[in-house]
């Protein structure tokens, strides 16, 4: 069990087998999930709890579905004492968390992450929200869950591409703060059948918890270090649209470019990019995209990044394998050169 402390209290991340995943829920609980997850869980879903299903996919993380879910809670009779249960990947977790933050000015919610990405990343840390047509995650709040329930068995039905997508974030923790983890990932491919999967997931959550406890509201340049690979990755997602590359795939390519950038700037030791790239390839992740040739639109997208200030580009860069630091005024010409050199 991992305990995560935040500004208003704390919550536990607890492992549970599938057979006990929905046991001991608060008396007035409401489940928000998506149709693919509901299908995957089938008979394991409790049929005595009110349930709302979003259409699966990033396209549902918007104000329309946010509004519908709020109205469902009101119609179904949820009160200030009710608890929302977010059962699904990061899309469900982010939207349900924002619904919980808003309904009657805030009700408790429990995260039950069912993708690897949601288990190691989005379910912990309290960032919730939805996308706007103008950009991703532009409406949201900080609203920590009251509990996170982890179920390794839930990952068994996850499509392989979605599993590998989550491995990109696992690799990221290795690169930025855990050299033994990146060694482990360089040696053999992580899969739902890996005997050490639960241990790896727990290790990542512990890293995320440590970082968000030190900088919950992303004000001190600590939480932002979790964005290694993300400045370029988000730009790739924006330029390509969100269908072509999954988030983890985009940040995998982004980590290679940003390792190259770090080496160019003399921040990252020579040879690190090669090691990063080899590890990602070992895990079945992409390390290059033809979109990297479209340097101008990528730079425009990076300038819109939430970390960018006064037009200066910000990056979390590796100081060594297993360490990183935020750099908030990187020269555009260096970024262009790093993209071209990747
Ligand atoms: N809040 C945060 O701190 C944070 C951090 C990282 C990412 N995110 C957000 O997370 C989202 C991406 O999350 P994701 O990658 O989990 O995507 P997702 O929620 O869309 O899930 C991916 C797909 O897998 C399906 N699925 C989920 N669990 C399944 C299971 N057990 N079996 C079968 N199918 C299953 C879903 O229905 C969906 O089609 C993005 O919107 C991103 O912005 C948030
Ligand atoms: Zn990410």
3-class SS shares of the chain: helix, strand, coil, % to 5: 50, 20, 30
The ligand minimizing its distance to the Cα of 127 is 1
- pLDDT value at 203 more than 90: yes
pTM of the model: 0.96
6, 207, 208, 307: the active-site residue: 208
**What gap in Å lies between CA 26 and CA 327, rounded to an integer?**
44
Residue 121 Cβ < 6 Å to ligand 1 = yes
Q: In this predicted structure, what is the pLDDT of residue 135? A: 84
The Cβ of residue 63 has, within 10 Å, a number of other Cβ atoms equal to 14
Distance of CA 250 to the CA centre of its chain: 12
309 is annotated as an active-site residue: no
* β-pair partners for 324: 318
| H/E element, 297 | helix 295-303
- pLDDT value at 309 more than 70: no
Residue 125 Cβ < 6 Å to ligand 1 = yes
What are the pLDDT digits (tens) for 229-252? 999 999 999 999 877 899 999 999
Residue 112 Cβ < 6 Å to ligand 1 = no
Residue 111 Cβ < 6 Å to ligand 1 = no
- pLDDT value at 214 more than 80: yes
CA of 247 to the centre of ligand 2 (A): 7
Q: Whose C-alpha lies nearest to ligand 1, atom 12?
A: 90
What are the pLDDT digits (tens) for 263-285? 999 999 999 999 999 999 999 99
Q: In this predicted structure, what is the pLDDT of residue 106? A: 98
What are the pLDDT digits (tens) for 55-75? 999 999 999 999 999 999 999
Q: In this predicted structure, what is the pLDDT of residue 342? A: 85
- Residue range 29-57: mean pLDDT, rounded: 97
DSSP secondary structure code for residue 312 in this structure = B
218 is annotated as an active-site residue: yes
The ligand minimizing its distance to the Cα of 216 is 1
53, 147, 169, 263: the active-site residue: 169
Residue 267 Cβ < 6 Å to ligand 1 = no
State the chain's mean pLDDT as an integer.
95
Cα–Cα distances (Å) from 120 to 41, 140, 151, 266, in that order, read 20, 20, 12, 30
Residue 57 Cβ < 6 Å to ligand 1 = yes
169 is annotated as an active-site residue: yes
């Amino acid at each position: 069990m991992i305990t995560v402390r935040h500004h208003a209290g704390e919550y536990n991340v607890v492992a549970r087998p599938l057979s006990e995943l929905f046991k001991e829920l608060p008396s007035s609980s409401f489940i928000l999930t998506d149709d693919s997850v509901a299908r995957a869980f089938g008979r394991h879903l409790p049929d005595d709890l009110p349930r709302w299903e979003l259409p699966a996919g990033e396209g549902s993380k918007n104000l329309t579905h946010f509004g519908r879910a709020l109205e469902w809670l009101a119609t179904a009779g949820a009160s200030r004492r009710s608890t929302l249960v977010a059962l699904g990947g990061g899309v469900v977790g982010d939207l349900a968390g924002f619904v919980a933050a808003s309904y009657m000015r805030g009700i408790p919610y429990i995260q039950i992450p069912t993708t690897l990405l949601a288990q190691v990343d989005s379910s912990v840390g309290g960032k919730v929200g939805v996308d706007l047509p103008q950009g991703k995650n532009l409406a949201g709040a900080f609203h920590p869950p009251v509990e996170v329930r982890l179920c390794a068995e839930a990952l068994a039905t996850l499509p392989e591409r979605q599993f590998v997508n989550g491995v990109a974030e696992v690799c990221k923790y290795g690169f930025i703060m855990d050299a033994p983890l990146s060694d482990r990932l360089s040696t053999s491919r992580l899969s739902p059948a890996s005997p050490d999967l639960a241990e790896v997931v727990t290790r990542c959550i512990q890293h995320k918890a440590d970082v968000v406890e030190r900088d919950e509201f992303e004000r001190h340049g600590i939480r932002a270090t979790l964005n290694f690979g993300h400045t370029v990755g988000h730009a790739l997602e924006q330029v390509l649209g969100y269908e072509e590359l999954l988030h983890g795939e985009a940040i995998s390519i982004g980590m290679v470019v940003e390792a190259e950038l770090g080496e160019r700037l003399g921040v990252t030791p020579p040879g690190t990019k090669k090691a990063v790239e080899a590890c990602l390839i070992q895990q079945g992740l992409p390390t290059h995209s033809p979109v990297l040739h479209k340097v101008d639109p990528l730079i425009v997208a990076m300038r819109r990044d939430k970390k960018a200030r006064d037009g200066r580009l910000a990056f979390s860069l590796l100081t060594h394998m297993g360490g990183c630091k935020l750099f908030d005024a990187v020269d555009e010409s260096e970024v262009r050169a790093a993209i071209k050199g990747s």
